[in-house]
Amino acid sequence: YIFLNLMLSMLAAIQAPVIMMSQNRQSAKDRIAARHDYEVNLRTQLEIIRLQRRIDRLLERLGHVEARLAEAAGRG
């Protein structure tokens, strides 16, 4: 049992640093993925804002066109 205990202790001593390195690598990958997600979300948000402004301008122009059509129909 002493030899078995020694072997298991050695195995645990060898595995612990390997497991920690693996977790550190995964953590680094997770940080990179999170940063990428943030950048994509930011670009998407900016594009949505740009499109909303464009829609607002188009709606304003449409309102002017409708007003002119109503005015022309009132005259004719």
Give dist(CA 14, CA 26) in Å, integer. Answer: 19
pLDDT of residue 48: 99
Total residue length of the chain? 76
Compute and round to an integer the Cα radius of gyration of the chain.
Answer: 33
- What is 37-51 written as a DSSP string? HHHHHHHHHHHHHHH
Q: Where on the phi/psi map is residue 8: left (φ > 0), alpha (ψ -120 to 50), or beta? A: alpha
Tokens, residue 73:
């129909």
pLDDT of residue 76: 67
- The pLDDT tens digits along the chain (76 residues) read 899 999 999 999 999 988 888 888 989 999 999 999 999 999 999 999 999 999 999 999 999 999 999 999 988 6
Boundaries of every domain in the chain: 28-76
Give dist(CA 19, CA 13) in Å, integer. Answer: 10
